[in-house]
Structure 1
Amino acid sequence: MDDYPPVDRDPAPERYGRLRVQTAAPGPADWLTERAPGYGDFGTVAGVAAPGFAAYARVLHPASLDELPVRWATVAAVHGREVASGTDWHDVIGTDRDYYNLSEYGVPGVWDEHPAEGPTPPAVARILIPVLARHTRTAERCWFGLWNGYGRWDFDRVPTFDTPGRDEVLLAGTLAEAITPVSLDEFAELPDLWWPQDRAWCLGGDVDLVSTYIGGSVELIADLLADPELEAHPVGPRDGVG
């Protein structure tokens, strides 16, 4: 077996942006880890966000042209296709899921960059925050999960909590502070999971996805679907993710 040198990682910060890294047992996340078997499995909407909500939405991460957002529906229309709630990006551009070449893409004048893979992109987060704030009484007290697998920071001595397929570091702050990791540098991911103290909703993303998933009230999901700045579709908790 080959011996690989240890990977140098930055020490775990006390704050991730303005979010406070929690070094005590992650009790506020217990409700996320205590899932009924078979409900909230890895690869499902409820597995990425959380089970038990009245309704769910999938928010698509936009493609871009000259660094400006481009809706999936715009790209699909060029190819004579439509976007539905379960459409994958590779279906939009007409390539194989496992073999499309990220270095060969784009339609001149339509799009030139794939949607961002990973947790919620900052531009999308800025639109989501005021909508989410209207649907919780505790926007000033929120919790967040940051996947321990991004590898840049050494969180090995920080307690983590498990979600389907992932282990997460617990962060605390206000809803508005969810965007503050962008102050670290352009490579800092936003948290994968967000939820308020009153658990009125839960937002989930993942390193391998080009969508963000949100569970909440029927009223919240209706607001997300109606927001003209978002490209969102209704989904069910057991639907697959992409």
Structure 2
Amino acid sequence: MIGFVGRDSAPERYGRLPVQRDDLGPARRLFEHTGGHGDFGTVAGVAAPGFAAYARVLHPASLDEEPVRWSAVAAAHGRAVTPGTRWHELIGLDRNYTNASDYGVPGVWDEHPGEGPTPPGVARSLIPVLTRHTATPDRCWFGLWHGYGRWEFDGVPTFATPGREEVLLAGPLTDVTTPTQMEEFAELPDLWWPDDLAWCVGGDVDLVSTYIGGTRELIADLLAEPDIEAYPVGPDDTVD
């Protein structure tokens, strides 16, 4: 959530993740290792370039607040999901939903996928898979766009990603979901990466998908995980 009036000063911890106020070295090391930031509006621009393979993880729609896969929505609309499918096209609306006097399919879906960084339910499904593909799951780094929530991050150092300025957080991978457990309006971090730089997870306030770069083995595991709806993409593909 954004646009709060009278925002609070920056917390010492975001959930259980300490806010880093001194050293942005881990962020510099990530982009030095991956060869830059990637181009705005591309998969590598949301996650990071330089990985062997990438996946797009779809944020679920919902029915009565329960998650619904895009494939189920596609079937109800007589369409199919591909790696590049855009949500508004899948349901037959324009990009900003301005031609929607009504939406949803009774008994199938009644709410759009959540825009923003990785939803908590998706994050919980990602954590075990990501953990298997890093030697440092207890030492991870996270980028949080400073425009989220009710906190004012003025005075906290930030690092740049395409189109955003990010606050650096630290902690074990398992703590990435704690902000939404502790704060009503909190978002999860946009960027996640382990200290060994084995992979990078990327999201954004304007997206309904999360993008992940890593080894081919990691991406194969993500694509095979039954609780995750994911598709292979390339680093230069346009994001949704």
Q: Indicate the TM-score class for this superposition, using the shorter chain for normalisation.
A: over 0.9
Give the counterpart letter for 1:44 in structure 2.
Answer: T
Q: Deviations over 1:7-41 (max 9, x none)?
A: 4111100000000000003111003455767x711
Compared with structure 1, are the counterparts of its residues 103 and 131 closer, same or farther at alpha carbon in structure 2 (3 Å cutoff)? farther
Q: Could you state the TM-score of these two structures normalised by the residue count of structure 1?
A: 0.93
User: Is 1:156 matched with 2:124?
Assistant: no
State the alpha-carbon separation in 1 of the partners of residues 99 and 24 from structure 2: 40
Q: 197-206 vs 19-28, which deviates more?
A: 19-28
User: Is 1:227 matched with 2:225?
Assistant: yes
Give the superposition deviation at 1:80: 1.0
1:12–1:154 Cα contact (<8 Å) kept: yes
Partner SS for 2:147: helix
Give the superposition deviation at 1:68: 1.0
Give the superposition deviation at 1:183: 2.2
User: Is 1:14 matched with 2:12?
Assistant: yes
Identity %: 73
Cross-structure match for 2:130: 132
State the alpha-carbon separation in 2 of the partners of residues 69 and 29 from structure 1: 33
Partner SS for 1:150: coil
Q: 201-210 vs 94-103, which deviates more?
A: 94-103
Match of 1:110 among 104, 108, 111: 108
Give the counterpart letter for 1:51 in structure 2.
Answer: P
Give the superposition deviation at 1:102: 6.8
Q: How does 1:182-201 map to 2 (within 5 A)?
A: 182-201=180-199
Q: Could you state the TM-score of these two structures normalised by the residue count of structure 2?
A: 0.94
Q: CA RMSD in A?
A: 1.7
State the alpha-carbon separation in 2 of the partners of residues 63 and 69 from structure 1: 6
| Structure 2: gaps (5+ residues) | none
Runs of 4+ in 1 over 2 A off after TM superposition: 31-37, 98-104, 183-186
Q: Deviations over 1:52-106 (max 9, x none)?
A: 0000000000001011111111111111110100000001101111344677321
State the alpha-carbon separation in 1 of the partners of residues 53 and 72 from structure 2: 26
Match of 2:142 among 136, 141, 144: 144
Cross-structure match for 2:50: 52
State the alpha-carbon separation in 1 of the partners of residues 17 and 118 from structure 2: 16
State the alpha-carbon separation in 2 of the partners of residues 12 and 211 from structure 1: 27
2:15–2:179 Cα contact (<8 Å) kept: yes
1:61–1:120 Cα contact (<8 Å) kept: yes
Cross-structure match for 2:84: 86
Cross-structure match for 2:96: 98
Cross-structure match for 2:211: 213
2:88–2:97 Cα contact (<8 Å) kept: no
